């Protein structure tokens, strides 16, 4: 075979090899990459992350999320033996109704030296008894206001030591210590006070916090009407929401501390006479629970 023939054959071979290589590369580009196995790396960096997901809103209420969710100590694969509430109950069976045609106004987060006396004065002016869910450290700082609440015939409710929304995620022993410390601060101010209720901060109920409060003789207290006065939407909005949503038996959530409560105080000036024209108002019962 001549040298020119060999060179021609070599050139043909090189061209064929180049064409085959291009075809292989084109074919690979048309096949999607297979996910890696066993590396522990997410398939896509654009996939949603746990922290990007919105909080649970199973039970409406103040900030905190996870209202009425399962115990944080529960294993995801374990059977869920948590008691389920029916439609007449709040999260984990917490009270949302007075159990009668009467309605109950409840005030959270106090006592506060500026706002609580104004709320008490308005309630006294209209002859209304209410329920005050007090924070332990505030009760310790303002024992005179706790005494005024009790002396005026209002019901006292335990609202944890320092409004710890994550309280329900703690151990039963830690929950019990928190509630006992709060009760002790209330009774140091008013030794004869009956503390028949507990309200979980943020409405972030769990089975452990419900169980401990009930073991201590306190009924878990939720609510049916929340005008979100903790967001300071203004007196008109607060009053409008309460009047539109309140029904016989409603428990209404309001606040006498935790921020600027001027809107709540102003709303009460309109709400109290209007509610009295429609309903009977009561402090929640303080008998044996």
The number of angstroms, rounded, from the C-alpha of 231 to the middle of its chain's C-alpha atoms is: 14
Of 33, 108, 192, 229, the catalytic one is 108
Active site residue 222: no
Active site residue 108: yes
Do residues 94 and 253 make contact, with C-beta atoms less than 8 angstroms apart?
Answer: no
Cα(157)–Cα(92) distance, integer angstroms: 18
Cα(127)–Cα(159) distance, integer angstroms: 25
- For the chain, how far is it from start to end, CA to CA, in angstroms? 110
| β-sheet with 104-108: strand ranges across | 219-220, 195-198, 155-158, 131-134, 104-108, 251-255
Of 142, 154, 222, 255, the catalytic one is 255
Do residues 208 and 232 make contact, with C-beta atoms less than 8 angstroms apart?
Answer: no
The number of angstroms, rounded, from the C-alpha of 7 to the middle of its chain's C-alpha atoms is: 83
Cα(84)–Cα(90) distance, integer angstroms: 10
**Cα dihedral sign for 47, 48, 51, 52?**
positive
Cα(207)–Cα(81) distance, integer angstroms: 10
Catalytic residues: 108, 255
């Amino acid at each position: 075979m001549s040298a020119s023939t060999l060179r021609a054959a070599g050139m043909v071979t090189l061209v064929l090899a180049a064409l085959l290589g291009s075809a292989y590369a084109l074919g690979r580009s048309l096949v999607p990459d297979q996910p890696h196995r066993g590396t522990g790396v997410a398939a896509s960096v654009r996939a949603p992350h746990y922290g990007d997901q919105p909080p649970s809103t199973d039970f409406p209420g103040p900030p905190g999320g996870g209202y009425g969710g399962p115990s944080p100590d529960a294993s995801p694969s374990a059977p869920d033996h948590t008691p389920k509430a029916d439609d007449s109950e709040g999260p984990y069976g917490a009270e949302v109704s007075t159990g009668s045609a009467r309605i109950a106004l409840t005030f959270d987060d106090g006592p506060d030296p500026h706002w609580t006396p104004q709320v008490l004065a308005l309630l006294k002016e209209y002859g209304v008894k209410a329920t005050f869910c007090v924070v332990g450290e505030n009760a310790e700082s303002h024992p005179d206001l706790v005494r005024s609440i009790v002396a005026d015939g209002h019901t006292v409710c335990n609202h944890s030591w320092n409004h710890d929304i994550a309280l329900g995620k703690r151990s039963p022993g830690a929950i019990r210590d928190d509630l006992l410390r709060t009760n002790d601060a209330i009774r140091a101010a008013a030794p004869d006070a009956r503390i028949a209720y507990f309200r979980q901060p943020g409405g972030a109920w769990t089975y452990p916090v419900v169980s401990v409060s009930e073991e201590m003789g306190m009924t878990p207290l939720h609510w049916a009407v929340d005008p979100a006065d903790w967001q300071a939407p203004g007196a008109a909005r607060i009053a409008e929401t309460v009047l539109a949503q309140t029904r016989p038996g409603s428990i209404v959530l309001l606040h006498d501390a935790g921020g600027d409560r001027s809107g709540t105080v102003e709303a009460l000036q309109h709400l109290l006479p209007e509610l009295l024209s429609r309903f009977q108002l009561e402090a929640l019962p303080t008998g044996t629970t």
